[in-house]
Amino acid sequence: MPTYKAPLRDMRFLLNEVLDYPAHYAKLSNGGEATPDIVAAILEGAATLCQEVLAPLNLSGDQEGCHFSNGDVTTPAGFKEAYQQFVAGGWQGLSFPVEYGGQGLPTSLSIFKSEMMGAANWSFNMYPGLSLGCINTILQYGTEAQKGQYLPALVSGEWTGTMCLTEPQCGTDLAQVKTQAEPQPDGSYKITGAKMFVSAGEHDLVSNIVHIVLARLPGAPAGTRGISLFIVPKFLVNHEGSVGPRNAVRCGSIEHKMGIHASATAVLNFDGAVGSLISDPNKGLEAMFTFMNTARLGTAIQGIAHAEASFQGALSYARERRSMRALSGKKEPHSTADALIWHADVRRMLLTQKAIAEGGRAMIYAAAQTADLLFNAVLENDPATREQYDHRLGFYTPILKGFLTEMGLEAANLGMQVFGGHGYIHEHGMEQIARDARIATLYEGTTGIQALDLLGRKVLIGTKGKCVRDFTRIMIRFAIPYWFARGPLGAMARSTMKRAIEWNVLTLRIMLRAAKDRDLVGAGSVDFLMYSGYVMMGYFWALQAAKANALLLSGKGTESAEFYRAKVQTAEFYFDRLLPRADAHRKGALAPTRSLMQMDNGNFAFP
């Protein structure tokens, strides 16, 4: 049976040595309790939960799946007991305000916990994971009465939350939302319509589920300007937070999916269900983006979680499985064949997985610092600061979600490849990782949607390239001191500087061309996103290599010398073997649209 070991050493390297989280936490109004000892204890506790409770349920949960009967969903064996342990440990409330029963710690700690949970058992992670966006939305936009009604039970994990956007006739295009909200004399609303693809929309883990629902008020403007947001609980909630009668929302079915079988993806039918308005009328989409950004960052975590899980499985197999002799000569003369790990192509696959998992982890942990600052501004009711960090996180989000999920899927497929035919067999767990990883590039907006968000909304329209200039300044400041350094570090620094300049030039060229050819934005956006992802990951690998190299030279890291050397070596691999992919994406982003748009629609296929 596949196993999972939390990568605590790598996590500590990023937190304490590369990104200086202790100093970061000291600056936060809610960071005082996040001392190094407390953080270490939290990471160890989460690792124990993931390794001993969640990971053993991953394979069996996939085999059994969820059961649907007459509107009710039963989760696989062991999930309910595991969720009770999760709640008893206070894990859901880790980063939420003390006044609602949380522990009041920074948001990033919840992200670190989610990464481990996701790698151990992504299906399980989705049940409490969707609640995070629900809680954040109510925290930021709810009335004091709504916060009092819903947050204590959501923060404790006694209840879970969902996001209800998609309808049968529309997915990403929310302008087509048809669900109606009729005002009632008592100030409530009757919600009528159908929602689909609702993750954790129905299950047996908790006593109540709180749905965040997009719907239209009577006479609302057409399109996205006429969408409002509502809280619709499965069971009605009294003002003091106690549970009342069943609401008129029912699960019509659950989807039969390629992967994440143990996570219930529901069709929900709202038949005059009682709801309450959250945020201002017709401003629901703006509030929903609070939920979406939380969900997208969570989905980016799925990319590195699956890369890490697949890497661990592949590495273990490559060390044990013997096949043929290495091309450079016998490595294990006392065995009939050499272990797979001696073969150069297998090492290429393993190092690609390692580079994706550890490079992506650095990207997310850096973004998590911005998430801390953003949430801190919300707590302090500082709109100007909140807007500043919201824009910064908004630039990170589509790159992290789009790029890391694509790379996580690649890593999952490479894990199967290392196993060969055995990777296709269910009992080894590798094909499950690949199936589970596939959805990450699709939900919360496909890679194409993330790319349009990045290039169209964030770069071209929103900031006219400023967001790229701001990030590349960080890259340049890092590279300058190492410009004349000898060896791998100097080469990485010079490459980082070159890519920073190139990224800005690419952005400018697209801006100029798009003014004449609007199709260029759609045609080149995915290539631009992938280029951005490779360059950003390159910076974070150079950053890790610089810190590891400094610790090696200082002699302070003698006990971890092998770990630090591996960091530098993996960074070298990334710059030699993976970063060059950015060149193809740069050319693709600038390719003319003529060859893409010239064919008549009817000529795509012939009967």
Q: Where are the domains of the chain?
A: 287-327+337-446, 451-595
Burial of 547 (0-12, 13-18, 19+ CB in 10 A): buried
Q: How far apart are CA 541 and CA 571, in angstroms?
A: 5
Which residue stretches of the chain have pLDDT < 50? none
Q: How far apart are CA 214 and CA 193, in angstroms?
A: 10
Measured CA to CA in angstroms, residue 373 lies from 43, 125, 296, 385 at distances of 21, 25, 18, 9
| pLDDT reported for residue 295 | 67
For the beta carbon of residue 334, count every other beta carbon within 10 angstroms. Answer: 5
| Residue carrying the six token digits 């989000």 | 397
pTM of the model as a whole: 0.95
Q: How far apart are CA 439 and CA 303, in angstroms?
A: 10
Nearest-5° angle of CA 512, CA 514, CA 516?
Answer: 85
| pLDDT reported for residue 240 | 82
Closest to 198 in 3D by CA, of 182, 213, 208: 213
- The terminus-to-terminus CA distance of the chain in angstroms comes to 48
Cβ neighbors of 549 (< 8 A, separation 6 or more) are 489, 564, 568
Q: What is the distance of C-alpha 107 from the center of its chain?
A: 14
Could you report the per-residue pLDDT of 73-125, keeping only the tens digit for each? 999 999 999 999 999 999 999 999 999 999 999 999 999 999 999 999 999 99
Nearest-5° angle of CA 296, CA 298, CA 303?
Answer: 95
Query: Domain 287-327+337-446, what fold?
Result: Butyryl-CoA Dehydrogenase, subunit A; domain 3 (1.20.140)
Kind and range of the H or E run holding 531: helix 519-554
What is residue 70's DSSP assignment? T
Residue 60 structure tokens: 């069996």
| pLDDT reported for residue 381 | 83
Q: Which residues are catalytic?
A: 444
Beta pairing class for 249-254 and 265-278: antiparallel
Q: How far apart are CA 467 and CA 390, in angstroms?
A: 12
- CA 587, 593, 598, 603 torsion: positive or negative? positive
Residue 154 structure tokens: 């959501």
Q: What percent of the chain is predicted at pLDDT more than 90?
A: 81
Q: What share of the chain is helix, strand, coil (3-state, %, to 5)?
A: 65, 10, 25
Q: How many residues in total does the chain contain?
A: 607
- CA 526, 529, 531, 534 torsion: positive or negative? negative
| pLDDT reported for residue 365 | 97
Q: How far apart are CA 140 and CA 73, in angstroms?
A: 31
| pLDDT reported for residue 473 | 98
| pLDDT reported for residue 294 | 65
Q: How far apart are CA 404 and CA 533, in angstroms?
A: 8
Could you report the per-residue pLDDT of 271-307, keeping only the tens digit for each? 999 999 999 999 888 887 765 666 678 889 999 999 9
| pLDDT reported for residue 193 | 96
DSSP state letters, 416-467: HHHHGGGGGSGGGSHHHHHHHHHGGGTTTS-HHHHHHIIIIIIIIIIITTHH
Q: Amino acid identity of 422?
A: H
What are phi and psi for residue 180, nearest 5 degrees? -105, 150
Measured CA to CA in angstroms, residue 493 lies from 482, 485, 539, 590 at distances of 6, 8, 9, 26
| Residue carrying the six token digits 């990033």 | 108
Residue 570 structure tokens: 């993996």
Q: How far apart are CA 205 and CA 210, in angstroms?
A: 13
Could you report the per-residue pLDDT of 404-452, keeping only the tens digit for each? 999 999 999 999 999 999 999 999 999 999 999 999 999 888 999 999 9
